[in-house]
Amino acid sequence: MCLAIPAKIIAFAPGEESRAMVDVVGVRRYIDTGLLADDPPRAGDWVLVHVGFAMSKVSEAEALDQIRILNALGEDDAARQEAEGYGDRAELESS
């Protein structure tokens, strides 16, 4: 199943304006925000993430609603596993 997962941007990687640390259903990972260069997200914004790339910005209300739907459908574990696949865990733990 192709799935875009809501994620909250926590911070940007130092010196890398298109690489952001996000929180995806409790998992923190770096993602690429380069596809949103025309309207760059900022820390605190919500984005929809697919395979490690921010695809679009969404409002907090939309993001939370989508998270509730994932939970209701029992897909929150699948979303968490998807998020765990982004980036490199050793890299994350060293930052």
pTM above 0.85, yes or no: no
Q: Which residue has the tokens 């941007």?
A: 9
Bridge partners (DSSP) of residue 8 are 23, 46
Give strand ranges (E) for 1-95: 5-12, 19-24, 27-32, 46-50, 53-58
Confidence band of 2 (pLDDT split at 50, 70, 90): low
Compute the average pLDDT of residues 4-22.
94
Tens of pLDDT along 35-63?
Answer: 999 999 999 999 999 889 999 999 999 99
Name all domains of the chain by residue range, CATH numbers in brackets: 5-86 (2.30.30.140)
Confidence band of 3 (pLDDT split at 50, 70, 90): confident
Q: What is the pLDDT of residue 95?
A: 47
Bridge partners (DSSP) of residue 7 are 47
